[in-house]
Amino acid sequence: MNKPHEPNSWEARAMANVMAGFTDFPTLHERGPMILTHGKGVRLYDTAGRDYLDANSGLWNVVCGWDHEGLIEAMVAQTRRFPAYHAFFGRMADTSVELSEKLIEVSPFATGRVFFTNSGSEANDTMVKMLWMMNRAEGKPERRKIITRINSYHGVTAVSASMTGKPYNEHFGLPLPGFLHADCPHYWRFGEEGESEAEFTARMARNLEELIEREGPETIAGFFAEPVMGAGGVIPPSKGYFEAIQPVLKRHGIPFISDEVICGFGRTGAVWGAETYGIEPDAIIASKALTCGFMPLGAVILGDAFAERMQAAAEKIEEFPHGFTSSGHPVACAVGLKAIEIILEEGLLANVRMISPYFMKRLNALADHPLGGEARGIGLMGALEVVAEKATKTPFDGALSVSERIANACLDQGLICRPLGQAVVLCPPFIMDETLLDEMFDKLETALDKVAEGLK
Ligand code: PLP
């Protein structure tokens, strides 16, 4: 039933005027929109006066809490000094130079180059255009195809949505031609009867190689992967996956671009997900925690070889004809510099490492809940996938919307977590402690019990 709203209330105004994106409309109609007014620490407050523990860090990005004074001060100071600029015509804000330097310093690369965007989608889009431009400049215009994986998420622009391996992009007539999707390395879900994890991983690598050979290695521009699939439902790779696929890519001269929009800056317990999984990327895509979410900012960080090749391609046509009005925005860059300092030097990453074992202990225990199928995660990102029948891993009928019901029951407890497919995702801020983790998991357990009861 549609929830009635008082005329002129925030909810009524939102329902009348806002085109909601990535929103489940039956849930929106049933519960109404949640209009938030402010946040403090790990909590958010809405117009109805309710408060919520935000187990999603905004959208994986607000890792330092909602009221971090250091970030606010950095933003205000920069706004006073130089509130806006672009990065065209060889002009740029000093802060954008400083942040480029810092990003290379904290990257796995000895040298490199950075290009700023406003979002992760634009950063992936930019990287694809760079690959296309480098290959054309080097006389290999046929090297255009992009490989990503089923269930991956790389963004929403026409190119980054084509990279994203989710069925909903069919509604836009995507993917564009030349965007290929390899297997999702989720052993628990896609491992075959009697297949060991090592055999599964070997099959992933074999299938990737077959895809490359079928398409023609000389037509493939790059392979993009999230170290841990985030919006796919927090899917860490099967054991040995990246060790197995990197030689395949190397053999065929295909660069590896690590999409670190979620994993970057500590989410997996290391600065980069690439570090956690022994990935040797040619470039890194960053955003989200790069500014702790306080300003929109994305970055393409080119490693040594790409930086040289990209510079040469641009020199050849005397330009890199690409950029956004707010590329290298000085306030976003100032916030980025401060965010990196807070995460890497002021103990946030250290805190992730410290509390991750407790997070994982409580997460893993959820697998024993009657609804629990697989509990999976790493660092401070986790998911519980629910099943109708444990032994056979049978998913619930999609029409039952079980993960949405759990997320809604969590909201009723004052906890924000996210339903993704048949999973409920947790990616709390890096400032959590064991008491807050207990509150989060206790609320989730209560919600799981209520939903399980309702399904009987
Ligand atoms: N890449 C990954 C791995 C992401 O998770 C996201 C967003 O969640 C994006 C790219 C797109 O970033 P944005 O939403 O800033 O465009």
The two tokens of residue 40 are 């403090």
The CA 120 to ligand 1 mean position distance, Å, reads 5
Which letter does DSSP use for residue 235 in this model?
Answer: B
The CA 259 to ligand 1 mean position distance, Å, reads 9
In short, whether 261's Cβ falls inside 6 Å of ligand 1 is: yes
In short, whether 75's Cβ falls inside 6 Å of ligand 1 is: no
Return the sign of the alpha-carbon dihedral for residues 340, 378, 417, 150: positive
In short, whether 121's Cβ falls inside 6 Å of ligand 1 is: yes
> Tokens 């509150």 identify what position?
439
Each of the 456 residues of the chain gets a pLDDT tens digit; together they read 788 999 999 999 999 999 999 998 988 999 999 999 999 999 999 999 999 999 999 999 999 999 999 999 999 999 999 999 999 999 999 999 999 999 999 999 999 999 999 999 999 999 999 999 999 999 999 999 999 999 999 999 999 999 999 999 999 999 999 999 999 999 999 999 999 999 999 999 999 999 999 999 999 999 999 999 999 999 999 999 999 999 999 999 999 999 999 999 999 999 999 999 999 999 999 999 999 999 999 999 999 999 999 999 999 999 999 999 999 999 999 999 999 999 998 899 999 999 999 999 999 999 999 999 999 999 999 999 999 999 999 999 999 999 999 999 999 999 999 999 999 999 999 999 999 999 999 999 999 999 999 998
In short, whether 259's Cβ falls inside 6 Å of ligand 1 is: yes
In short, whether 165's Cβ falls inside 6 Å of ligand 1 is: no
Burial of 383-397, coded b for 16+ CB within 10 Å and e otherwise, reads bbbbbbeeeeeebbe
Contact 224, 124 (CB under 8 A): yes
Give, in degrees to the nearest 5, the angle at Cα 324 between 323 and 329.
Answer: 110
The CA 66 to ligand 1 mean position distance, Å, reads 20
Which SS3 state, helix, strand or coil, does residue 42 take?
coil
Read off φ and ψ for residue 112, nearest 5 degrees.
Answer: 180, -170
Provide the whole-model pTM.
0.98
